[in-house]
Structure 1
Amino acid sequence: MKPVYTLAEALAQDPGRIAKTQALTLDSARPHMGLKGRHGLFASDAWWESIKAGRIRTQTLTGIIERIYFAGQDSRRGGQVNSVTLRLADGSTVDEGIYAHRKQDIKLFVPGAMVTMVYALDELKAQPAADGSVNVARIVLEGYCVLPSHQPSAQN
């Protein structure tokens, strides 16, 4: 299964994102904004190693697309979509954004397609979360989308 999105590729296309994220982590004048940086600055070698070693937890979410839609207040063109509702194995649903590097890959996100998203759960400066747990940013590391297999019709 080939990813349609990787954080590594996204950062290569937008290196300024790394500098801005790291600057916010290091900004002591903003004690409640940004990542905590306890396991390395965002996208640094130490950060990637912390993910591999499990110091920064990851979450994998897999589901079948039930619905595609446009979320947000920005203007859009035609049938443009940027979000999906996924049905998970336990029967619950979640809404997720569409992540893809190539515009043509967005067409893979159709009802019935299987989506897998891998997130890094990096601690935020602002603690705790509303429910008392550790407050984390869900950073998309990888995204995959596989079209549903279509059975040949009996008429063929």
Structure 2
Amino acid sequence: MLLSLNESPVPMRRVYSLAADLEQDTRRVTLAQQLTRDSSKPLLGLKGTFGLFASGEWWANVNKREIPLLFVSGVIRRAYFAGQDSAGPNNTIDLVSSDGAISTVGIYTNDVRDVELFVPGHLVHVVYALDELKRQPAADGGVNYSRVALEMAISEQPA
């Protein structure tokens, strides 16, 4: 596990694991890997720099932190539905970090019932793998990444 929940100031509960998610949706892995291998689509999909998505090599590189990881933590300021549909469960949160910065992140859960845990005042930790896309460079001239959510945890009580 990448998130160190023991170091949190309040008890935390892991509500999302990409590994568990992919066990339920093996087609996602197949499609992502096919797109990486498809040379007729040089601007679509992952580059495969650290191995094919969710392969043994890819997971080893995640665990060795060869793939850049992004850790985001903060207290929920707002939970809401973002999207074109007019209704739906909350799928987005605004987090306030310890330095006052606000980040907007998606809600990831392996059990849809856990969405109700995402309420203002609760602490959230999420870690992303920054996997290089085929399309390079990014608009700012840097590396163009896909943010792949690996784990998400939420506090069991307000922070």
Normalising by the residue count of structure 1, what TM-score does the alignment of the two structures yield? 0.90
Q: 1:144 and 2:148 equivalent? A: no
Checking the alignment, whether the CA contact within 8 Å between 1:4 and 1:144 is kept in structure 2 is yes
User: Structure 2 vs 1, CA of residues 94 and 149 (structure 1 numbering), >3 Å: closer, same or farther?
Assistant: closer
The percentage of counterpart residues that share the same residue type is: 47
1:111 to 120, 136, 139: 120
For 1:19-30, what aligned pairs fall within 5 Å after superposition?
19-30=30-41
Displacement after TM superposition at 1:131 (Å): 1.0
Checking the alignment, whether the CA contact within 8 Å between 1:25 and 1:41 is kept in structure 2 is yes
Please say which structure displays the higher CA radius of gyration: 1
The alignment partner of 2:70 has SS state of strand
Q: How far, CA to CA, are the matches of 2:37 and 2:112 in structure 1?
A: 34
Q: How far, CA to CA, are the matches of 1:7 and 1:31 in structure 2?
A: 26
Q: How far, CA to CA, are the matches of 2:63 and 2:111 in structure 1?
A: 27
Point out 4+ residue stretches in structure 1 off by more than 6 angstroms. Answer: none
Consecutive unaligned residues of structure 2, counting only runs of 5 or more, are: 1-11
Per-residue CA shift, 1:20-63, capped at 9, x if unaligned?
00001011011011100011000000000111122211111000
Displacement after TM superposition at 1:124 (Å): 0.6
2:56 to 42, 45, 49: 45
Normalising by the residue count of structure 2, what TM-score does the alignment of the two structures yield? 0.89
> What's the counterpart of residue 72 of structure 1?
83
> What's the counterpart of residue 125 of structure 1?
134
Q: How far, CA to CA, are the matches of 1:82 and 1:52 in structure 2?
A: 27
- CA-atom RMSD in angstroms: 1.3
2:102 to 83, 93, 102: 93
Q: How far, CA to CA, are the matches of 1:62 and 1:137 in structure 2?
A: 19
Checking the alignment, whether the CA contact within 8 Å between 1:119 and 1:138 is kept in structure 2 is yes
1:70 partner letter: F
Consecutive unaligned residues of structure 1, counting only runs of 5 or more, are: 151-156
Checking the alignment, whether the CA contact within 8 Å between 1:7 and 1:142 is kept in structure 2 is yes
The alignment partner of 1:104 has SS state of helix
> What's the counterpart of residue 14 of structure 1?
25
